[in-house]
Chains A and B, each alone.
Chain A
């Protein structure tokens, strides 16, 4: 079992839809990251969370430490949001989820 589990693995949405990607982890962590990867590109760090909620533009990330769960929400999704989203937990080392491939259709 992976230390970090993401769901769904693949997601297709219509432009404008509200999107949620979930991440559960089983290890003790100091922070949780949400990363974005466009095809052929490096990773872009979207959020780093240790508690509560953060918002940046149309992106919102939340974390529940007690439940060891985090969610990434995208409001009013756009085709340029199409990418792989990766949840990564920082403890003694980095534990990465397998990623969620998001495709937003115009």
Chain B
């Protein structure tokens, strides 16, 4: 089946540094990818929709200058957490929309990236 990878799976960084998370669709081209965030013991939250070749669409309350999204190719979207702070520590999950999937526009999820900001 379709596979979406994320890298890194875990990252620990110092406060003030920037962290880049990659999301790749390995065997299909994804014009649309989504980025989610999950706080401990809470459910998923959609952060933004990433469209290849255009600017990402951010959900209300998500700072676009804080969470930079680049969808430069049909198989890669990156999320950069700029000037990370401890409150940015979270589990970040991407998903990629496969227009040729089992269902119309099936969405496949990456395994997630656990970010810890010290």
Residues on A close to B: CB < 8 A?
31, 33, 35, 37, 39-40, 42-45, 47-48, 84, 88, 90, 93-94, 96, 98-99, 101
Contact = CB atoms under 8 A, between A and B. Distances in A.
Q: Determine the interface band of chain B, counting residues with CB < 8 A from chain A.
A: 20 to 34
Contacts of A35: 44
Contacts, number: 47
B105 A42 contact: no
Contact of A94 (B1, B41, B42, B109): B109
Given A84-B106, A94-B109, 6 more contacts: A33-B44, A39-B105, A43-B36, A45-B43, A88-B109, A90-B38
A42 B9 CA distance: 22
Contact of B93 (A48, A94, A99): A94
Contacts of A90: 38
Given A93-B9, A94-B109, A39 B44 contact: no
B107 interface: yes
Give the 3 A-B CB pairs with smallest separation, nearest first.
A48-B43, A45-B43, A93-B111
B77 to A, nearest CB: 13
A33 B42 CA distance: 10
B104 A42 contact: no
Given A33-B44, A48-B42, A39 B36 contact: no
A35 B108 CA distance: 13
B112 A94 contact: yes
B34 A39 contact: no
